Amino acid sequence: MLTDQPALDAIEQVRRAGREHDGTDPVDEAVALRLKHHGLAGIGAWVTADGFALRRDTALDLAVAPAARGRGLGGALAERALAEPGPLTAWSHGDHPAAAALARRWGLARTRELWVMRRPAVVPLPVAEPPAGVRIRDYGTGDAEALLAVNAAAFAHHPEQGSLDATGLAERMAEPWFDPAGLLLAVSEEGELLGFHWTKQHDASLGEVYVVGVSPAAQGRGLGRVLTVAGLQHLAARGVTEVLLYVESDNSPALRLYGGLGFQHAPADTHVQYQRTDLGEVSP
């Protein structure tokens, strides 16, 4: 097994091969940022030149390079990473059949689906004016504390987004794609932050509805729709041809909102979370 910098280099190579072959990164943004800023510190890592398994507390990330698949490496890595008993979650970014097979083998149940929805930027947008007493403005350097507070309240029951802290915010804002003009805030006449739409531009043609959050105290006023439309207008002005977003498959209100704005989901655009809830060891 590889360690230290050779392990990080191998992980990056496997991720790159996966992105090129599968169209998705085998790890999510939070894991990518952790590897970038903190390396393998605090992570259980089993890494070879052709694949890796990373265990962070109760979360597991496992990937095998496309050229090395079908040779049992995924099972061997899973056996090592799953040897320690206890609750565990693992994402399959793209709903791969091999991931489903490994999940069945090791007793992990399919528990969540995250949909990718896409929208052509040329589709006309509806008019969505802010309610009386609310204005939309860009993010400023003094808004970080209020942004984190609204994010925590809006995503209190979301295990990934709701845990965003000042360090995580700073890391994301240090990324090349960050644009303060693409982080739109809905504020009251008194200056209170009511909600936000953080957009992301991946490249010249692809944009993303990165995060839309509305304070629970301000919900029911149509701010989610207003902010979403404002962000889509911003991305369209930047010249993107397509916009994507991620949404929980059982979030009916969000699905209605996004569907009404022209977003569509294809079955292949599905990320699946598997979960092991028992406290005992699982035998293959």
Annotated binding residue 252: yes
Question: Which H or E run includes 276?
Answer: strand 264-276
Annotated binding residue 164: no
Q: Give the integer Cα–Cα distance in Å for 210 and 161.
A: 11
Annotated binding residue 209: no
Annotated binding residue 208: yes
Query: What is the number of helices (H) and of strands (E) in the chain?
Result: 8, 11
Annotated binding residue 142: no
Say which DSSP state 156 is in.
T
State residue 235 phi and psi, 5-degree precision. Answer: -65, -40
Annotated binding residue 215: no
Annotated binding residue 29: yes
Annotated binding residue 56: no
Residue reference for tokens 């097979």: 101
Residue reference for tokens 């693409």: 182
Annotated binding residue 214: yes
Annotated binding residue 213: yes
Annotated binding residue 60: no
Q: Give the integer Cα–Cα distance in Å for 182 and 185.
A: 10
Annotated binding residue 45: no
Annotated binding residue 162: no
Q: Give the integer Cα–Cα distance in Å for 201 and 236.
A: 10
Measuring CA to CA, which residue among 252, 183, 191, 254 is closest to residue 225?
254
Annotated binding residue 27: no
Annotated binding residue 221: yes
- Environment class of 29 (CB within 10 Å of its CB; exposed 0-12, middle 13-18, buried 19+): middle
Measuring CA to CA, which residue among 238, 241, 265 is closest to residue 251?
265
Annotated binding residue 113: no
Annotated binding residue 225: yes
Annotated binding residue 239: no
Annotated binding residue 256: yes
Annotated binding residue 36: no
Q: Give the integer Cα–Cα distance in Å for 189 and 187.
A: 7
Q: Give the integer Cα–Cα distance in Å for 240 and 28.
A: 23
Terminal Cα-to-Cα distance of the chain (whole angstroms)? 22
Annotated binding residue 133: no
Annotated binding residue 260: no
Annotated binding residue 174: no
Q: Binding-site residues for acetyl-CoA, please?
A: 62-64, 212-214, 219-225, 251-256
Q: Binding-site residues, please?
A: 29, 62-64, 160, 200, 208, 212-214, 219-225, 246, 251-256
